[in-house]
Amino acid sequence: MAVDQELVDAATELARARFPGQDWCGAAALRLDDGTILTSTAPEVPNNAVRLCHETGAICEAFKLGRRVVASVCVTAADGGRGYWILAPCGVCQERLFAHGPDVEVAVPEPADPRRWRTLRLRDVQPHWFARVFPEDVWPYTADDPQPPC
């Protein structure tokens, strides 16, 4: 259950439907451990200090459902009709996704063309993540946990 075209299309379709004709709009799609796809986008707020990432709503929904996230993608519409670009998860979203384990797969853009993507595991996106200093048997989340503890 990796990042695939279905997941990218789900995020792109939400951005198109929610923000028709707008430049620089975006959305995210997450796949859960049971195959369900959740989508979300970020609300507009007057104070940039309280903005949320596009992934946040779907991450919260996964938590509400008691499901693990196994894959994530975020897209943004490029201005001038240049298509949809893949965005790697920001550092905050990496932390949010790490709650589901280091093997969550995320889309990252190809350097030569951000409309193209490849899949990496969080552990490979963030090889120096702070919690990697702890042994696997001490780390609080494992692939077998049904969901991260509260």
Length of the chain: 150
6 neighbors 36 (Cβ within 8 angstroms): no
**For position 1, what pLDDT does the model report?**
58
Structural domain contains residue 146: no
Q: Is residue 148 part of a domain?
A: no
Give the mean pLDDT per block of 10 residues along the chain (150 residues). 90 94 90 97 92 96 96 90 91 94 95 95 90 68 48
**Confidence at residue 140, expressed as pLDDT on a 0 to 100 scale:** 54
Cβ density class 22-52: b for 16+ within 10 Å, e for less: eeebbbbbbbbbeeeebbbbbeeeeeeeeeb
**Alpha-carbon gap, residue 46 to 115, rounded angstroms:** 29
Q: What is the residue range of 14's domain?
A: 5-133
Residue 145 lies in a domain: no
Number of domains in the chain: 1
CA 57-147-15 angle, to 5 degrees, is 20
Query: So what's the pLDDT on residue 130?
Result: 82
pLDDT given at position 72: 98
Chain-centre distance of CA 82, in angstroms?
22
In a domain, 71, yes or no: yes
User: The domain that contains 69 carries what CATH number?
Assistant: 3.40.140.10
Specify the pTM: 0.86
Residue 149 lies in a domain: no
The answer to whether residue 127 is domain-embedded is: yes
Residue 16 lies in a domain: yes
Give a yes or no: residue 141 inside a domain. no
Q: Which of 68, 14, 20 is nearest to 41 (CA)?
A: 14
Tokens of 145: 């946990």
Whole-number pLDDT of residue 82:
82
